Amino acid sequence: MKKKLVVLTGAGISAESGIRTFRDNNGLWEQYPVEDVASIEGWHRNPELMTRFYNERRLQLPTVHPNEAHRLLTQLEEQYDVTIITQNVDNLHERAGSTHIIHLHGELMKVTSSLHPNDPSQIRTLSPDQLEVKMGDKAADGSQLRPFIVWFGEAVPQIEAAVNATLQADLYLVVGTSLNVYPAAGLVNYVPNDAPIYLIDPAPVSWNSMHQMTHIQKGASEGMRELMKTLLPAAS
């Protein structure tokens, strides 16, 4: 039986593909206040701005591609039972070939109802030739279409699935996240005591868990190359 490898990914892994992050220098929050483009209050205040903002993010997706870190995570599925828990809303893990992905913060390629955003009957995936949503475009229930994104001020519907996956981990890997955004940052507290934790991030990380971890202080792809030397022999 394959060991269970659970991976928590954040903006740092997608940044290497050219997707701008919110928090880093020259990040999106320097152009757009978070309350304007990433909160439910912002949607109620100015849905036109948020619709345009996420259209721009969505139109960028076809111009970027999975990087080596994404591909190496897919490669690990040959010898591990891999579950990826991602805070990213892009589809780079899917495009790299990963097969079991939990999107904590929603999916950029999907849209949903403004009234019932988590109702599965209201969620649909946009086609590659129709990536822009316009004001007046309606969900099945007649409300304005909105991005299928979990904004500040909203519950995180997939957090229970993420906790359940974390509880089953034989190994836990964190890639490209500062562990500053909750509830995702709290997932490390559910890692079993006997499961090694590896963290790949070039910046110093404030580690508040009692669980010991190994910090590979490198970028996502370089760090994954280093970690593969440890993980693949361990699986044989």
Pick from 197, 199, 192: nearest CA to 168 = 192
Q: Sheet harboring 80-86: ordered strands across?
A: 101-103, 80-86, 3-9, 171-175, 197-200, 214-216
Report, as residue numbers or ranges, the catalytic residues.
105
CA gap 191, 171 in Å, rounded: 8
Contact residues for 37 (Cβ-Cβ < 8 A; gap 6+): 28, 49, 50, 53
CA gap 95, 72 in Å, rounded: 13
CA gap 236, 108 in Å, rounded: 37
Give how far the C-alpha of residue 185 lies from the chain's centroid of Cα atoms, to the nearest Å.
12
The three-point CA angle 112-116-120 to 5° equals: 60
In whole angstroms, how far apart are CA 162 and each of 37, 66, 186? Answer: 25, 23, 11
